[in-house]
Amino acid sequence: MAEHNSEVDQSEHVDLLVIGWGKGGKTLAGTMARAGKRVAVVERSDAMIGGSCINIACIPTKILVHDAENKRDSDDVAEYFAKAVKRRDTLTGAMRKKNLSMLDDLDSVLLVSGRAEFTGEREVLVTGGTDTMTITADTVVVNTGSVANIPPIDGAKLGGRIHDSESLQHVTPFPKRLVIVGGGYIGLEFGSMFTHFGSQVTVLDHGPRPLANEDDDVAEVVAAALADDGITIINNASVTAVSDGTESATVSYEIDGETKTIDAEAVLLAVGRKPATTDLGLDKAGIETNERGFITVDQHLRASAEGVYAFGDVNGGPMFTYISLDDNRILADQLLGEGKRSTRDRGSVPYTMFLTPPVARVGLSEKDAREQGYEIKVGAKAMADIAAAPRAKIEGDPRGIVKFVVDAKTDRILGAALVHVHSQEVINTVALAMRHDVTATELRDTIYTHPSATEALNEVLGVMK
């Protein structure tokens, strides 16, 4: 049950208890242990040591995205996918082992394998097989993350040919046809990945167009790139049923009152995430949740129960591992520092959808800025037309767009949407500039290496209107 203890029905008191091995929790555990505090980390699954990011989310999916983009027409589809999955598993296994040693090597860290359930205020009962352990703590961090949301659709049950984003990473046999229910972040990323591996991909999106939060011009560029790669997106589709048959799965959906069906060797349910709080017994500890089940927290990540905090996905904030890492910084500052950090001081948080090419965003869209009453200037240019940034052409994929929204009165950057090769790197430069009030003019006139994707900033920020 425990890495350092094997007796049953034990009890321990620690300075810090972390439930779930997510990015923020494991980082705080190491920091507190090195500061001389007694720490316990509870994880129910050995396959999740290190957290979702390295095991089922960021790292493994980006390995598959990378390998899919590098597949040659001459490669056997099934064989190539199997090799990519093997590489995925090898790297995640090595990272899991490293994450274990990073905490296991610290003498003041108690690692416990089992299911945690609150039995009182800052008290949990951990059950692992026939062993149990009661752990009490001065401070508790719930860091259990999220799981795929299974929609209330007839037949929408995982198993066989019906998958979530975790099981699809090991799908076998490789699906010649893949239907994705949901055109959001996960659905489009997996759609792009699998079409490059060789699947015929159809995305059933409930909305009128994909990327509902993006400006029309940006969304159109992305949709065109996906279509160019062979993905079919059916908009305004309300999925009514999913069934798994002998030869294929069938998805039924309605458009304008008309019922249609589509068959595929695999179906991905990609309709969002929900908090992983089942069986945690939050009510027994006085931990409140919102209407969607996420733990409610204040700007310092405090839950409603004294001494309890929630990190990462489980608190309903942006579902990115780097947000969980910053959650750790906020609480570390509360416990060991000056207590000045909060969620209110981390503006200009970027994100990337790893499509081909990737879609990176930070700050306000043009639509949002106008709705909020800003007087703005907008600069937008197709990547293929940006003479000063030939990197995308060099790499053979000049598709995309670079768009900036700037406050006309202050010259401050309000937001940017970058759709191009290496946009996941360039967006970090833009976000840093926004956080430190670097003006659009300063960013425009900065010297960048050549040939790089960042050089697009020189040109696009010079055509503001």
Tens digit of each residue's pLDDT (9 = 90 or more) over 440-465: 999 999 999 999 999 999 999 999 99
Q: According to the annotation, is 324 in a ligand binding site? A: no
CA distance 441 to 379: 12
Per-residue CA distances from 309 to 42, 130, 388, 424 (Å) = 15, 29, 48, 30
Task: Clarify whether 66 is annotated catalytic.
Answer: no
6 near 77, Cβ under 8 Å?
no
Residues 265 and 179 occupy one common structural domain:
yes
Residues 23 and 124 occupy one common structural domain:
yes
First-to-last alpha carbon distance for the chain, in angstroms, is 63
Say what the pLDDT of residue 9 is.
67
Q: According to the annotation, is 20 in a ligand binding site? A: no
Kindly tell me the sign of the dihedral angle through the C-alpha atoms of 365, 57, 154, 261. Answer: positive
Structure tokens at 335: 């416990």
Say what the pLDDT of residue 4 is.
42
CA distance 180 to 457: 35
144 exposure class (CB count in 10 Å sphere: 0-12, 13-18, 19+): buried
Residues 15 and 112 occupy one common structural domain:
yes
CA distance 465 to 463: 6
| Residue type, position 213, single letter | N
Q: According to the annotation, is 184 in a ligand binding site? A: yes
Q: According to the annotation, is 25 in a ligand binding site? A: no
Residue 126: CA atoms inside 13 Å, Cβ hemisphere, count? Answer: 30
The DSSP code for 436 is T
Range of the domain at 76: 10-147+274-345
Pick the last residue of a domain from 301, 324, 345: 345
* CATH number assigned to the domain comprising residue 357: 3.30.390.30
Residues 189 and 143 occupy one common structural domain:
no
CA distance 193 to 204: 16
- Residues of the chain short of pLDDT 70, as ranges, are 1-9
Pick the last residue of a domain from 284, 319, 345: 345
Is position 2 within any domain? no
Residue identified by tokens 């939060």 is 213
Q: Give the pTM.
A: 0.95
Per-residue CA distances from 38 to 100, 237, 422 (Å) = 17, 53, 42
Q: According to the annotation, is 150 in a ligand binding site? A: no
168 near 190, Cβ under 8 Å?
yes
Percent of the chain clearing pLDDT 90 (strictly above) = 97
Residues 186 and 211 occupy one common structural domain:
yes
Of 45, 238, 279, 63, nearest in space to 153 by CA: 238
Q: According to the annotation, is 298 in a ligand binding site? A: no
4, 163, 420, 450: the active-site residue = 450
Residues 175 and 266 occupy one common structural domain:
yes
Kindly tell me the sign of the dihedral angle through the C-alpha atoms of 151, 156, 161, 167. Answer: positive
Say what the pLDDT of residue 1 is.
47
> How many Cβ atoms are within 10 Å of 337's Cβ, its own excluded?
12
CA distance 383 to 401: 5
Q: According to the annotation, is 189 in a ligand binding site? A: yes
Q: According to the annotation, is 462 in a ligand binding site? A: no
Structure tokens at 465: 């209107």
pLDDT tens, position by position, 302-354: 999 999 999 999 999 999 999 999 999 999 999 999 999 999 999 899 999 99
Say what the pLDDT of residue 40 is.
98
Residue identified by tokens 């990323």 is 189
Percent helix, strand, coil in the chain, to 5, is: 35, 30, 40
Residues 55 and 121 occupy one common structural domain:
yes
Q: According to the annotation, is 272 in a ligand binding site? A: yes
Q: According to the annotation, is 188 in a ligand binding site? A: yes
Residues 216 and 334 occupy one common structural domain:
no
Residues in the chain: 465
Q: According to the annotation, is 104 in a ligand binding site? A: no
Of 406, 462, 400, nearest in space to 434 by CA: 406
Is position 465 within any domain? no
